[in-house]
């Protein structure tokens, strides 16, 4: 498996694994806990070294799952988790005392003595980012955390945090159909030497080509409430999938591999974390690291992706995005 380096010299596999869906978000999990552990351990065997979780996934149970699965190989993987929500309530909480409480609890659930990469899950407007960065810096000095990250943070916030303590990685949604970070965030990351970890790099499944206007999501699938997954917008965005599918056929690849290869081609410090519950999908996704897209192919993808319809979040969800 190819390796890439995020900020502060943190080396990880070129493609990581987002673990959220193993515990929540995309409808009933088709596999048991033991099956999910087998997927996680199988991913390690395939060369994945970056695993992404959070206290809010489940909540709590995803960290426990990841910790148990990776315990036998703990020294060979990078575990990323997050703080910043008030579990069981609405809203954000990045007060320094809460960050410390979350870190201690996450260490216990993960069964480890150090968190490799700790993200602020969402920027809390009630707490200065300098206080957040300073608290994480203290945790790093205490040996409880190795690297500091931010999620869905604006360019200005990233700069302010980085001035207090070097930011290793920023995690935000980025894919062929969500290109918001390109205007301001990616240039700042390149300037400051910070890595970028796109979540939902396959457009929450849309960019795999398996979703169309006839798709019916389970009642508890989060996509039911996302504007971009309305039937109208799925129909409007069918042209993007048609183009990606045709290119995939020409390259003897899958549509998902094309989407991931496009991401990898944007910058050498970009490490996507597609989520899945199936080891076969992990293997498929990793194949994108070997796929080379020509300049004209990348330009054509850029052009067709410029006309994506529908917001990625609801207004309430956007209220928790630092913009």
In whole angstroms, give the CA distance from residue 101 to residue 99: 5
Kindly give, in sequence order, each residue whose CB lies less than 8 Å from that of residue 141, ignoring residues fewer than 6 positions away: none
Q: How many alpha carbons fall within 13 Å on the CB side of residue 259? A: 33
How far from 70 is each of 11, 44, 55, 65, 74, CA to CA, in Å?
Answer: 18, 8, 16, 9, 6
Task: Say which residue the tokens 């909480």 belong to.
Answer: 93
In whole angstroms, give the CA distance from residue 226 to residue 203: 12
Which residue spans within 154-223 are E strands per DSSP? 169-173, 195-199
Task: Check the CA dihedral 112-113-116-120 and report its sign.
Answer: positive
In whole angstroms, give the CA distance from residue 26 to residue 207: 15
Kindly give, in sequence order, each residue whose CB lies less than 8 Å from that of residue 97, ignoring residues fewer than 6 positions away: none
How far from 289 is each of 1, 47, 66, 275, 286, CA to CA, in Å?
Answer: 8, 12, 24, 16, 6
Write down the catalytic residue from 57, 119, 174, 313: 57
Report which DSSP code applies to 201: T
Active site residue 57: yes
| Residue environment code for 227-264, b if the CB has 16+ CB neighbours within 10 A, otherwise e | ebbbeebbebbeebbebbeebbeebebbbbbbbbbbbb
- The candidate with the shortest Cα–Cα distance to 262, out of 238, 295, 228, is 295
Reading the block at residue 76, the tokens are 């060979």
Residues annotated as catalytic are 57
């Amino acid at each position: 498996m190819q390796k890439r380096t995020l900020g502060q010299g943190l080396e990880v596999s070129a493609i990581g694994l987002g673990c959220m869906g193993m515990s929540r978000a995309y409808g009933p999990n088709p596999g048991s806990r033991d099956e999910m552990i087998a997927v996680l351990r199988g991913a390690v065997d395939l060369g994945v070294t970056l695993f992404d979780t959070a206290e809010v996934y489940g909540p709590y149970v995803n960290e426990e799952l990841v910790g148990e699965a990776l315990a036998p190989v703990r020294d060979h993987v990078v575990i990323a988790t997050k703080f910043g929500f008030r579990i069981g309530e609405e809203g954000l909480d990045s007060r320094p005392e809460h960050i410390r409480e979350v870190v201690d609890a996450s260490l216990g659930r993960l069964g480890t003595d150090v968190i490799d990469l700790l993200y602020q899950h969402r920027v809390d407007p009630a707490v200065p980012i300098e206080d957040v960065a300073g608290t994480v810096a203290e945790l790093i000095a205490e040996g409880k955390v190795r690297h500091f990250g931010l999620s869905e943070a604006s360019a200005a916030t990233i700069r302010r945090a980085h001035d207090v303590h070097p930011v290793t990685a920023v995690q935000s949604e980025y894919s062929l159909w969500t290109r918001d970070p390109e205007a301001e965030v990616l240039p700042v990351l390149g300037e400051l030497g910070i890595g970028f970890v796109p979540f939902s790099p396959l457009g929450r499944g849309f960019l795999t080509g398996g979703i169309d206007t006839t798709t019916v999501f389970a009642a508890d699938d989060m996509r039911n409430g996302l504007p971009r997954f309305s039937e109208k917008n799925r129909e409007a965005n069918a042209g993007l999938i048609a183009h990606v599918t045709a290119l995939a056929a020409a390259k003897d690849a899958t549509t998902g591999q094309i989407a991931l290869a496009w991401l990898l081609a944007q910058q050498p410090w970009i490490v996507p974390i597609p989520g899945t519950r199936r080891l076969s999908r992990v293997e498929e996704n990793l194949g994108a690291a070997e796929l080379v897209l020509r300049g004209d192919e990348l330009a054509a993808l850029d052009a067709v992706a410029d006309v994506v319809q529908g917001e990625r979040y609801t207004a309430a969800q956007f209220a928790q995005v630092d913009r």
